[in-house]
Structure 1
């Protein structure tokens, strides 16, 4: 029985391309086919599995459950029954039904008191999730009910005969020469693209990407599997862009998350035009990373300092604490940081915190005191003073500039 349900779970995973988990009646995961690894701050599986089981156990077998947890992660689940005995559940997800990722993240961080330093990683995680409309997730629920409502039936394949190739030796030689020219041109252009990414030059990078429109069409000449070949080339592009951004000075924490997210999105893409759009999106996001987080133009000590600040923005940050973490004398660090950035460490920290605070104030539905604490200020008056110093207006005045969020 368990073996048959696992086969059903595998089929659902391959068809929907979504994470699929089989849990027993005690809430333990017996089988998982997953593409996503949920960040630790969002991960409370045991309690959620128990809740899902309880709901399905107390409803008729033909019901499915659309579950949304406190972090906005959505799942479709159906109970596994043998007669009147409840054996557990199959759970498909996470996915989201909201297109506004940034707004969703802001609400989740505020509502659950999550660390502000994790916002970028959380954005990248949520952006990697499938976005399903109501018809789509209801269809998954109906699929689960119909696949789990009866015994598994093994299927048998009927195969067609293999067709012989009509490609002549002369045409094959011409094709090889054409491919050679394309490959050489592609590598030359890729080097230019990596240089643009390392500089964070989005305009130049996009011009280069549009000039490379033939790169994926090249894969159409492989008759066995053009989409597979195109995906492989997109994976290579993802790696090249990651390496270029790292060369530009982006911390590996940010690179790991964005690289993993795009690897998942590439594998899920089902046609070459969508892969081309995805490559443009990758190009822009890697450039944004360089422009936002790159520290490659700093000395090693200042680079470590900036990286530490950006990764711990919501925590207590003082010159002495930072100096201790990176094993350097505080006076030397203070002097070196001012030389290279043009500001002292406290002003730099305040500037970054106010940039984060602006994002929350634009929402208009979070108390200003909560925003101050979220971004690392322990004193509301000091937060307001710093905010006005950097923006010339108070946090309240800034928030009123934005329409209410619905």
Structure 2
């Protein structure tokens, strides 16, 4: 049964992220199971292999180990059974698009520069997995591997660089200087995040978010969850101000801030904070990209604003055209030309997006959610939802529960 579940996870990760997932029972001295995924020149380095094996031996059950900056890549590792040395490995992957830090370690681990071409080729073949994706992967594993409700603990295993061992006294680095650098970097990332979200770019926003995670979430355990909640409240407020500056007056803008305030207050663990932060950035990016009307003509901009303000109603092209004092044909042609969608398709897409929020964040019955977005026929709502999301509302809700 366990092997079947792991096989299912492995197929999913391979298909969606080009990421390997495999189950190991029993550790030999050479860690021969790694031969299928890493370069032979890495396997020949006994020092690095011994270090990796020693780390595995000391792992404990019901912990997730995020292994960063080993020469042969990064791994997510879960010890399933310490007595029988059973492990679940996900990897190798890169946690950054750049791998210069790993290349700098070549001299340290004794690899020849004659192998540099194959090493470059190896790193380029590895998938890039951001920290936000790592969180999602672990959530999937937890829900599919464990029959009981397990509170997995996160342990970060980062390889120490040579500069980490510098004599502190020789540099006279004071606490004040470190605090100043931290604040300076914090302000820089805050500005960059707001800039990326303001452009509606999810990809760039996630890149900055990963850097923010590295800056703030450096502890393995969060004993003071309140400070992380306060930080998210700060970001939620910044993002709300961003919407206000852009003159947003739609259904999402009015509820987005409060919805995330409620979720932030309900957070109990660091992983909750990270998941909320990621979802919050994605939802604000969506609002910016979907509801910004500045790059549309006045007519289409007014149509989008009217749709956003009346999304809970059963809208029609004729009704919108009458409100704007134009013919339905002229409005439809202009809307399609500028947005790439027909008016009805655009309305349906927004209705389903709002439904995903309600399915994810509330316990409302599916029929009630349909009514909230202006679809009274629950069967039609389910068919429409499946058309856009490739799954039923019930299936979508189960993912987040």
Fold shared, TM-score > 0.5 on shorter chain = no
TM-score, normalised via structure 2 length: 0.38
